[in-house]
Homo-oligomer: A and B are copies of this chain.
């Protein structure tokens, strides 16, 4: 491939900045400038930075059409998450962006709202000509749909486990994590453990957390009580507050609650405060996600902490490997780490 041709910067009649100018300013060869602009691997961070600074200072813009004709790479990775207002996804997006930046890529952020239509559009790539690869955190899409979409371009799925699909997908072990959260509560002497986040519709991480919850109770000889398993709408603070209101109104006694994400747990704690109940003295609370908010809430929230930085880095590594062709292994499952963070809300 030859280098992109220089062109005048806009219609201002300014003299065109050439690749040669950029190379001279950065103190590197024209070939190196081209390598940086085309996001080729194996360029040192220092060199990349010097070239990018020269590009900025000289306001150099390669001819986009020529660039696209000659090189399908845009340097853009799409990240599609259900809802950026859920702190877990904001923190994950920030981690993905940091990881992408380290390898000179930009992140195009899409919100799907967990809407199957929008997820399908993200997965199929309505703006497919603009992105090199996709990181998708699906809520609603079925495995068959995902498999089909992922075949058309490098795709990494987050947060689900489709053991039967030949797609790169990264997830923590949600069953084990759910079980550990409940075992922790059992070890502190809590026996009547409610659950917020019931979700019969989607086959996702939430269903696996519930499986862990049921396994831990059963292993402890405790019969799970359907009255203590509550749905959670959109998994936001309001949904957690309402679910706790309902649990308290139901009149069935319980002494702890495992909420399937932290915003639900924080909403549930708000409801408990409104009812004059103390956490953990009257009721213990455990969440899931380890969002920063739960480290500063009163009380601080015990939670399952997925390794968000690790997940982001694995996803980018996987995509980069597919794009460069260096990664030739069959697409499949890549496990990510998690740990239980014990804080004040379950007794500290």
Contact = CB atoms under 8 A, between A and B. Distances in A.
A334 interface: no
A298 B298 contact: yes
A76 B121 contact: no
Contacts of A297: 270, 297-298
Interface in A91-111: 91, 93-94, 97, 106-111
Interface stretch (A52-60, A166-174, A221-229, A310-318): A52-60
Contact of A298 (B87, B128, B269, B293): B269
A26 to B, nearest CB: 14
A65 interface: yes
Chain B CB within 10 A, most for which of A64, A76, A117, A273:
A64
Interface bin, chain A = 35 or more
Contacts of A152: 10
Given A10-B152, A68-B64, A110-B106, A94 B84 contact: yes
A74 B130 contact: yes
A127 B75 contact: yes
A298 B76 CA distance: 41
A121 to B, nearest CB: 5
A343 B18 CA distance: 59
A316 to B, nearest CB: 15
A23 interface: no
Contacts of A10: 152
Nearest to A273: B298
Nearest to A279: B298
A306 interface: no
A267 interface: yes
Interface in A258-309: 266-267, 269-270, 273, 292-293, 295-298
Contacts of A161: none
A61 interface: yes
A126 interface: yes
Contacts of A293: 237, 266, 293
Contacts of A50: none
Nearest to A98: B111
12 contacts: A10-B152, A59-B124, A76-B130, A87-B90, A106-B110, A236-B292, A237-B292, A237-B295, A241-B296, A266-B293, A267-B296, A298-B298
Nearest 8 pairs between A and B by C-beta?
Answer: A64-B129, A109-B109, A90-B90, A237-B296, A65-B69, A270-B296, A273-B298, A65-B68
Interface of A: 10, 52-53, 55-56, 59, 61-62, 64-65, 67-69, 74-76, 83-85, 87, 90-91, 93-94, 97, 106-111, 117, 120-121, 124, 126-130, 152, 236-238, 241, 266-267, 269-270, 273, 292-293, 295-298
